[in-house]
């Protein structure tokens, strides 16, 4: 994992990637991601690959995770361990 602040497609170009991997939870996610993927493909040669989430993670999104964390809840089941550790370390400072 590596943080970036640019468009995902620009970061992919910077890293010499050929594809962008995106997770899909809902039909709305698919429509949104499909539109971005089509624009990315028209502007670059970068393809998008979509993976469906597991059923237990379908209702979870970043807004929910941020809200859990904001209110002191345990979001460890919903984010990668390395990210959770970084968040916990930041709380200590």
| pLDDT at res. 57 | 75
Residuewise pLDDT in 10s, the chain (93 residues)? 788 999 999 999 999 999 999 999 889 999 999 999 999 999 999 999 999 988 777 888 888 999 999 999 999 888 888 888 888 888 887
State if pTM tops 0.85: no
Kindly state whether residues 34 and 79 are assigned to the same domain: no
Kindly state whether residues 7 and 40 are assigned to the same domain: yes
Kindly state whether residues 51 and 67 are assigned to the same domain: no
Kindly state whether residues 8 and 35 are assigned to the same domain: yes
Q: Which domain holds residue 37?
A: 1-55
Tokens of 24: 């899909």
Kindly state whether residues 46 and 75 are assigned to the same domain: no
User: 32-55, pLDDT tens digit by residue?
Assistant: 999 999 999 999 999 999 999 887
How many C-beta neighbours within 10 Å does residue 12 have? 21
Tokens of 51: 């993976």
How many domains are there within the chain? 2
Kindly state whether residues 48 and 75 are assigned to the same domain: no
């Amino acid at each position: 994992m590596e943080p970036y602040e640019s468009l995902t497609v620009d970061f992919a170009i910077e890293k010499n990637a050929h594809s962008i991997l995106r997770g899909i939870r809902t039909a709305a996610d698919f429509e949104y991601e499909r539109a971005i993927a089509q624009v990315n493909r028209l502007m670059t040669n970068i393809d998008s690959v979509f993976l469906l989430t597991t059923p237990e993670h379908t209702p979870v999104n970043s807004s929910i995770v941020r809200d859990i964390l904001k209110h002191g809840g345990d979001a460890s089941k919903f984010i990668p361990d390395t990210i959770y550790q970084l968040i916990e370390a930041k709380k200590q400072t």
